[in-house]
Homo-oligomer: A and B are copies of this chain.
Amino acid sequence: MRSELDIDTAIERAAAGRFRAVITDRWNIGTAPNGGYLAMILGRAMARELADAGREHGDPLSLTTHFLSVARPGPAEVAVAIVRSGRGHSTLEARLIQRDEAQEEREVMRALGLFGDLGRATGPTDVKLAPPDVPPLEACLSGRPAGAAPRISERLDMHLAPGDASWLTGERSDDATLRGWVRLADGREPDALSLIFFADAFPPPAFNLRAVPLGWVPTLELTVHVRARPAPGRLRARFTTRVVSQGYLEEDGVLWDAEDRVVAMSRQLARAGRG
């Protein structure tokens, strides 16, 4: 059975350096598709472009995506170009394009990505970042809020450490940290590419801050470093915001796999306070 995430991030080659995609509304938050979902489409197109060029290093080591305008569910195109390709690393550029009513092209996202081969990388390893102490699932809070849950929450099997998502209970803990377990609801196991999605799948920890109004927190720029290919099983995550300044905030994420290895580190710059 093909997973929802794979179906909804599928791309089809349209021409040299050009792919067709269909953005679905199944990953929406409100009326806008989730940014990590969209970034994963770009990552997939870049990896395909590389593979079709005969390059066998398709792991997204670092993917930066700039969100230029709001994406709409519906048809889209991805324009991809290899900027530089070497023996072990390649750098690519991707643009997500949608057409308006007049069929005018509108660039929705722009990304730069560094790809490599995490299956064959060699060099020193020394990890100081232990996975957070997240209680077992049954002691956690469901990530699916009651009432008007965003559609993306139907696709996720998410469990948050109790107390971390304080805004859900009407309080604000003043600690912008969120820890939890996550996997896809249909059981699809994580892989390197899907970590781009997971890095933006949690609600904003900044909602724990009294200064930050609950509402849309649009991502301006998202950078995901994939540090290892994840083992099958649930991911463990910690997301933190430390600096909210003049309406801008950063959100740092770390994802660990079921074998307690750091598999991704992410940072995004987002805008808060539009209420």
Residues of A bordering B, CB below 8 Å: 61-62, 64, 66, 68-69, 83-84, 89, 91, 93, 107, 110, 112, 114, 118, 121-129, 176, 209-213, 220-221, 223, 225, 227-228, 242-248, 250, 262, 265, 267, 269, 271-273
Contact = CB atoms under 8 A, between A and B. Distances in A.
Given A243-B262, A245-B125, A246-B121, A91 B62 contact: no
A66 B112 contact: yes
A246 to B, nearest CB: 4
A124 B272 contact: yes
Say how many copies of this protein the assembly contains: 2
B61 A247 contact: no
A128 B93 CA distance: 35
A91 B109 CA distance: 10
A271 B123 contact: yes
A212 B83 contact: no
A248 B66 contact: no
A15 to B, nearest CB: 21
Contacts of A123: 244, 246-248, 271-273
Contacts of A83: 66, 68, 107, 110
Given A123-B247, A127-B242, 18 more contacts: A61-B220, A62-B66, A62-B269, A64-B223, A66-B91, A89-B220, A114-B220, A121-B246, A121-B248, A123-B244, A124-B209, A125-B211, A126-B209, A126-B210, A126-B244, A129-B242, A227-B248, A228-B245
Contacts of A213: 124
B62 A114 contact: no
